[in-house]
Chain A
Amino acid sequence: MTKRFALGIFDDEDVLMHAIENVRAAGVKIYEVFTPFPIHGIDDALGIERSRLPIAAFFYGMCGLAFALWMQIYMLGFDWPMIIGGKPHIALPAFIPVSFELTVFFTCHGMVITFYTISKLYPRWRTPVLDVRSTDDKFVMAIEINESTDLNNLSKLLRENGASEVNEKEMTKN
């Protein structure tokens, strides 16, 4: 599906931050903002919800801990008990290191896999980018346009808010 975008190009993140507020206040819906680096406070300005990744991470960690304890207690305590140095079969203090490592292992990998999945990041042959300078030094505000959009007004709004360029671009979204 092909979509058309008006791209406001900004040279500075502080200008962009003010522009985001003003554009949203003017009732224009911002499709997406592309920046070369993370900007603090931009999620609030854009109204992006706080990520629930930390909650997911916590549950992955708990799964790791439960798995590690189950594995060690089951294997050494029930499935094949061995007397090692006269220690009890279920020697919980000795199980702490492995439990800790598996907690961390599950937290990290679970969270990172979730991050790539929900962000739809996966290796691909070609990456469609609206403006290649957005990974270098420009801050790009993309606004989806259709027949009813008044381009002149939109362009004026962006320029008034400090956009150094306003471009139009079509992109096929797959």
Chain B
Amino acid sequence: MQHVSPVREPLVTGGKSYHDVTQDVCRQVEAAPNVRWMAALSVALFFLGVFLYSVYRTLWFGIGEWGLNKTVGWAWDITNFVWWVGIGHAGTLISAVLLLFRQKWRSSINRAAEAMTIFAVICAAMFPVLHMGRPWLAYWVFPLQNTFGSLWVNFNSPLLWDVFAISTYFTVSLVFWYTGLVPDFATIRDRAKGPIAKVAYSLLSMGWTGSAKHWSRYETVSLILAGVSTPLVLSVHTIVSMDFATSVVPGWHTTIFPPYFVAGAIFSGFAMVLTLMLITRVVFKLEDYITMEHIALMNKIMMITGSIVGVAYITEFFIAWYSQVEFEQYAFINRATGPYWWAYWSMMTCNVITPQLVWIRKVRYSIPLTFVLSIIVNIGMWFERFVIIVTSLHRDYLPSSWVMFSPTIIDIGIYVGTLGLFFTLFLLFAKFFPVVNMAEVKTVLKYTVDNGPTYTGHDPHHDLIHKPTTHGVPANAPVNYNKHD
């Protein structure tokens, strides 16, 4: 039985019926692509072209095309890798952690957020693969027998842990996302008019019919996947942070890194979810599903994680001072006042100060301000990774090897290019896949109260009048309540 609350804010506004949900979500998939979508896709494809060109240069001429130098060996590519992986985390957080915490508001946004996760991880994976210089030998990172005899990978290395973490994370997120899509593909399949759409969505929906037995198993699978994805998502960024923390570079060798990186990941992930959702809801007319409440809630999560990140920055400083390690102290003073002070203070402004504006209710509920804020946070989180990596490496123990880092045009091309890759994938997803999880949204329609009857065109009292009482539910229990009753 659905629990109906007379006090809770509605999760879906506009008094939608089940059929309305189907109509609203399928409209985009069934309609011919509109001009705005085509224009956006063209821009994304242009940047995808930039990406392909930069990759071609990197592979053809070698990674000398990148602005790496002997000291700052990891600068730009690992910054981007960590940034993209971080962005991916909000999707899993929304789909797994919020599912376990019974946060029903996640239903409207989980699909798009999970898609974002998949695409962000694809973008992230580009960097470690490309930095090998010879990606066709990428299988060497896996524990496979090779032609030299039984030489294996080094399981003591955090970089190898990354291989396992990211591959597990990507494939698990993919099946989680896909399994969730299957029932919605079935809905589109059953509405499809054209023969191509019928066959395509029939293939995609794997013959889903929505039988009660399948739903029961489906729910079990979702819950277990959420249960194992929750520690997984925490482990992935923890391991990414260990790439740094297990080294002895000043500014990296700290135990605060794992929680601090996880918080940062959720922070940047939610910023990206907000950016995308604010656009999606307007373009696809989904204001009733992604409501102001959703935006405010996401804003709050962003603010909380932003505050955690802020505390982490201050803690790092404190520990550097308290440890009395000269190199550690220097690393932090250099971050704030050295040649990269602008990156450090951009990070501080974007990540610590601006999210605090979310305390103000007007900001939380304002679309333009939220949009600007989410972009600022994304920029800030990119700077955070840049600060950690570049400032620690450009001045380490030996003053004779102190250098500055500046990216080459190819570096920039690859970064901007992955944005193109990301948005191309997201736009294709938004056009051909249901952006909102229809089946899940239908389950929460009655969960809350709206101004009108939830279920229109049908008298809910009629059918129940002569029923005996079951499960402690009165026979004439109304299937929905009216707020004004």
What's the dominant secondary structure at chain B's contact region? helix
- Which of B71-79, B129-137, B150-158, B345-353 lies at the binding interface? B150-158
Whether A104 contacts B215 by the Cβ 8 Å rule is no
Q: Which residues of A contact B (CB under 8 A)?
A: 11-15, 17-18, 21-22, 32-43, 46, 48, 51, 53-54, 57, 61, 71-72, 75-76, 79-80, 82, 84-85, 87, 91, 94-95, 97-98, 100-102, 104-105, 107-109, 111-112, 115-116, 118-127, 129-130, 132-137, 160-162, 164
**List of B residues within 8 angstroms of A101 by Cβ:** 161, 164-165, 167-168, 232, 235
What B residues does A32 contact at CB under 8 A?
A: 211-213
Chain A neighbourhood of B228, CB < 8 A = 57, 61, 104, 107-108
Which residue of chain A has the shortest Cβ distance to B161 in the bound complex?
A: A97
- Point out the residues of chain B lying under 8 angstroms from A129, CB to CB: 190, 209
Residues on A with C-beta less than 8 A from B158 are 97
Decide: A120 near B215, CB < 8 A? Known: A41-B471, A108-B225: no
Does B156 contact A15, Cβ atoms closer than 8 Å? no
Chain A residues within 8 Å of B168, by CB: 101-102, 104-105
What is the bound-complex CA distance between A41 and B389, given in angstroms? 52
A36 pairs with B152, CB closer than 8 A: no
B362 at interface, CB cutoff 8 A = no
* With A14-B464, A37-B439, A48-B216: A54-B224 Cβ-Cβ less than 8 Å: yes
* Cβ B455 vs Cβ A11 within 8 A: yes
Residues of B within 8 A of A (CB): 1-2, 17-19, 22, 143, 149-158, 160-161, 164-165, 167-168, 171-172, 175-176, 179, 182-183, 186-187, 189-191, 198-199, 202-221, 224-225, 228-229, 231-232, 235, 239, 242, 438-440, 442-443, 455, 458, 460, 463-464, 466-468, 470-471, 473, 477, 479
By beta carbon, the residue of chain B nearest A103 is B228
Residues in A neighbouring B212, C-beta threshold 8 A? 32-35, 39, 42-43, 46, 48
Is the CB–CB distance between B206 and A121 below 8 Å?
A: yes
Inter-chain CA distance A79–B212, complex, in Å, is: 51
**A100, B471: Cα distance in complex, Å:** 42
Q: How far is the CA of A121 from the CA of B439 in the complex (A)?
A: 18
Q: Which of A36, A46, A119, A133 has the most chain B CB atoms closer than 10 A to its own CB?
A: A36
Q: Do the beta carbons of A53 and B217 come within 8 Å of each other?
A: yes
From B150, B191, B220, name the one whose CB has the most chain A CB atoms within 10 angstroms: B220
Kindly state the separation between the CA atoms of A118 and B479 in the bound complex, as whole angstroms: 34
A-B contact count (CB 8 A): 240
Pairs A–B under 8 Å by Cβ, sample size 12: A36-B22, A36-B438, A42-B212, A53-B221, A80-B149, A101-B161, A101-B168, A104-B232, A105-B168, A108-B228, A112-B175, A125-B203
Q: Who on chain A is nearest to B162 by CB?
A: A97
- Whether A79 pairs with B150 at a CB distance below 8 angstroms is yes
Decide if A104 touches B172 in the complex (CB within 8 Å).
yes
Distance of B369 from chain A, by nearest CB (Å): 35
Nearest-Cβ distance from residue B182 to partner chain A, whole angstroms: 7
Residue in B152, B164, B470, B477 whose beta carbon sits within 8 Å of that of A80 in the complex: B152
Query: Smallest distance from the beta carbon of A84 to chain B beta carbons, Å?
Result: 5
Which B residues are in CB contact (< 8 Å) with A72?
155
CB distance from B327 to the nearest CB of A (A): 20
Tell me the bound Cα distance from A118 to B473 in angstroms. 34
Bound CA–CA A79/B143 (angstroms): 12
Cβ of A37 to closest chain B Cβ, rounded Å: 4
Residues of B within 8 A of A161 (CB): 463, 467
Q: Which B residues are CB-close (under 8 A) to A136?
A: 18-19, 22, 187, 190-191
Q: How far is the CB of A28 from chain B (nearest CB, A)?
A: 16
Listed residue (B158, B168, B203) with the most chain A CB atoms within 10 angstroms of its CB? B168
Contact status of A33 and B211, CB under 8 A, knowing A12-B460, A41-B471 = yes
A14 touches B211 (CB 8 A): no
Closest to B182 in A: A121
Q: In the complex, what distance in Å separates the CA atom of A27 from the CA atom of B396? A: 80
* Chain A residues whose CB sits within 8 angstroms of the CB of B211 once the complex forms: 32-34
Q: Is the CB of B210 within 8 A of A35?
A: yes
**A49 nearest CB across to chain B (Å):** 9
**Across the interface, which residues of A come within 8 angstroms of B167, CB to CB?**
101, 105
Contact assessment for A112 and B221 in the assembled complex, using a CB-CB cutoff below 8 Å: yes
Given known contacts A14-B1, A51-B217, A76-B152, is B202 in contact with A124 (CB within 8 Å)?
yes
Given contacts A102-B164, A112-B179, contact A87 B156 (CB under 8 A): yes
What distance in Å separates the Cβ of A116 from its nearest Cβ neighbour in chain B?
7
Chain A residue nearest in CB terms to B19: A137
Q: Give A79 Cβ to nearest chain B Cβ, in Å.
A: 5
Complex Cα spacing A53 to B153, Å? 34
Give 5 nearest A-B pairs by CB, closest first. Answer: A162-B463, A137-B18, A132-B190, A97-B161, A75-B152
B residues less than 8 Å from A126 (CB atoms): 198-199, 202
Cα(A101)–Cα(B168), bound, Å: 6
B residues in contact with A14, CB < 8 Å: 1-2, 464, 473, 477, 479
